[in-house]
């Protein structure tokens, strides 16, 4: 019996870093690809445009996961000052070819760690009410429902939709 060939199972290391302005276009591409797959049943067109990404970069940070200089996924975090030092997490996106690989959890962990490092005590998220799989995914990570909020009016939807707000102590 020969030695097993493990080469096929080896994958390049995944690195998580803070995005810069040069990453705006690939970030836009991966977000729209990921959301298109997940949301095409209720929304037409892109979820976000390049100008919005650039605006997000001026307010908060995108953490990106990459391997061999290829962007695999991203997540947006925005620390918010106030009495309870909260942070907002949104736009968690994984390249459709890499979904269900653990990258979403890797990015969530990195985002939560990043915000803890900024002394944030709570993380807030908004999930789309029509995405029935999301409450369980985030619930396993310690998030609990905290209310609802309106879906952006600039995004046309095929059916009525709103956000379910969730929060987690960090």
**Could you tell me the mean pLDDT of each successive run of 10 residues in the chain, 170 residues long?**
44 89 97 89 87 96 95 96 86 91 93 96 95 91 96 85 95
The two tokens of residue 36 are: 């298109």
Q: Does CATH number 3.40.920.10 belong to domain 13-169?
A: no
pLDDT of residue 11: 57
Give counts: helices (H), strands (E), the chain. Answer: 4, 7
Those residues whose C-beta lies under 8 Å from the C-beta of residue 50, and which sit 6 or more positions away, are 24, 25, 28
Instruction: Spell out a b/e string for 31-61, using b for 16 or more CB atoms within 10 Å of the CB, else e.
Output: bbbbbeebbeebbeebbbeeebbeebbeebb
pLDDT given for residue 155 in this prediction = 79
C-alpha–C-alpha distance, residues 68 and 89, integer Å: 26
Encode pLDDT of 46-78 as tens digits. Answer: 889 999 999 999 999 999 999 998 999 999 999
> Which two structure tokens, joined as six digits, stand for 102?
């653990």
33, containing H or E segment: helix 24-39
Kindly report the pTM of this predicted structure: 0.87
Name the DSSP letter for residue 121.
-
Parse the chain into domains and list their residue ranges.
Answer: 13-169
């Amino acid at each position: 019996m020969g030695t097993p060939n493990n080469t096929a199972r080896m994958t390049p290391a995944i690195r998580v870093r803070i995005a810069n302005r040069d990453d705006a276009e690939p970030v836009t591409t991966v977000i729209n690809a990921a959301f298109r797959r997940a949301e095409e049943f209720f929304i037409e067109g892109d979820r976000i445009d390049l100008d919005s990404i650039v605006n997000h970069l001026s307010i908060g940070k995108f953490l990106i996961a990459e391997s061999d200089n290829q962007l695999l996924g991203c997540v947006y975090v925005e620390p918010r000052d106030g009495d309870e030092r909260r942070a907002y997490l949104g736009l968690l996106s994984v390249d459709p070819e890499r979904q269900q690989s653990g990258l979403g959890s890797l990015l969530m962990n990195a985002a939560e760690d990043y915000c803890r490092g900024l002394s944030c005590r709570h993380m807030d998220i908004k999930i789309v009410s029509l995405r029935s799989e999301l409450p369980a995914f985030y619930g396993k990570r310690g998030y609990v429902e905290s209310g609802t909020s309106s879906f952006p009016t600039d995004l046309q939807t095929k059916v009525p939709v709103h956000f379910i707000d969730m929060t987690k102590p960090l």
